[in-house]
Chains A and B, each alone.
Chain A
Amino acid sequence: GAVVSQHPSRVICKSGTSVKIECRSLDFQATTMFWYRQFPKQSLMLMATSNEGSKATYEQGVEKDKFLINHASLTLSTLTVTSAHPEDSSFYICSAIPAGGQRTEQFFGPGTRLTVL
């Protein structure tokens, strides 16, 4: 149980285009999902906290107009990278907390590798 999927697993796009990444909790409902970004040889950095039915909370330095987050259901959160540029190339990972579960229990998706040409 507690499986989180991400789609796509890998995407290559041209500079200036927008890319949508989906994060799904497959066998549980998640009121809270998190989006992380990881650059090569660096650790995971939290970008934003996604709450079902409300606006996402962004970490300092993360542009909310560039990284659009939608958490429209208890099993799906999406991250859209708008007008992507090469510096946005990174490994994007989501995690989810089961509804009613302990806040310390996060389940990670497999990640999405974004390459912007």
Chain B
Amino acid sequence: QKEVEQNSGPLSVPEGAIASLNCTYSDRGSQSFFWYRQYSGKSPELIMFIYSNGDKEDGRFTAQLNKASQYVSLLIRDSQPSDSATYLCAVNDYKLSFGAGTTVTVRA
């Protein structure tokens, strides 16, 4: 499987702050990138995907992709306690390859 690297965390941010999550991938030919959120004991749920270089915004979430640097990030604005979860970065070239995930804790 393709290598996808993430900082495991935990990342602790105060409520209302911006949480910044990073992910790097090994295969320069990868085309599509996904961010999933996983609550403890649950299966992943898709937050957003990005295919093109640059930023993509969806509500409080912004994904950023830099294919030259093989880097994709996720910003969570106005973090809420309900955002406390593990965030998984995934690269999809037909099969999903997941990073180990970053655990985020939002302090009320």
Residue numbers of A with Cβ under 8 A of B are: 34, 42-46, 49, 59, 91, 93, 95, 103-104, 106, 108-111, 113
Residue numbers of B with Cβ under 8 A of A are: 1, 32, 34, 41-45, 49, 88, 92, 94-101
- In the complex, the number of residue pairs spanning A and B with C-beta atoms less than 8 Å apart equals 42
16 pairs of residues in contact across A and B, judged by CB atoms under 8 Å: A34-B95, A34-B96, A43-B98, A44-B88, A46-B1, A59-B1, A93-B43, A103-B94, A104-B32, A104-B49, A106-B92, A108-B44, A108-B45, A110-B43, A111-B41, A111-B42
Q: How far is the CB of A36 from chain B (nearest CB, A)?
A: 8
Q: How far is the CA of A4 from the CA of B101 in the complex (A)?
A: 23
Q: How far is the CB of B30 from chain A (nearest CB, A)?
A: 11
Q: How far is the CA of A25 from the CA of B44 in the complex (A)?
A: 16
